[in-house]
């Protein structure tokens, strides 16, 4: 699985990011790639067991929900 998107900041129009997940013997490998972090590309890789990967996914979903609520506060749906 891989997701790509626009990062935040003034260079977001030109630079995106990617997040990929793949199965490995130890569990799940998550890889976050940023093409421009302080002028250099950067990649962070985490290998998590299944329980850790589930907890991480729940935390990301909660953070995304919180951000969406703050972004769209006060709008009618």
- Of residues 73 and 60, more confidently modeled: 60
Model's pTM, two decimal places? Answer: 0.62
Give CA–CA dist 48/45, Å, rounded. 10
Query: Do 35 and 44 touch, CB atoms closer than 8 A?
Result: no
Tell me: the pLDDT tens digits for 19-55? 899 999 999 999 999 998 889 999 999 999 999 999 9
Question: Which pLDDT score is estimated for 16?
Answer: 85
Q: How far is CA 4 from the centre of its chain?
A: 9
């Amino acid at each position: 699985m891989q997701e790509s998107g626009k990062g935040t900041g003034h260079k977001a129009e030109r630079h995106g990011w990617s997040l990929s997940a793949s199965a490995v013997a130890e569990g799940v490998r998550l890889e976050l790639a940023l093409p421009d972090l302080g002028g250099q590309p950067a990649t962070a890789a985490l290998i998590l067991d299944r329980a850790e990967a589930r907890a991480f996914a729940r935390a990301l979903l909660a953070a995304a929900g919180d951000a969406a609520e703050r972004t769209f506060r006060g709008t009618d749906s």
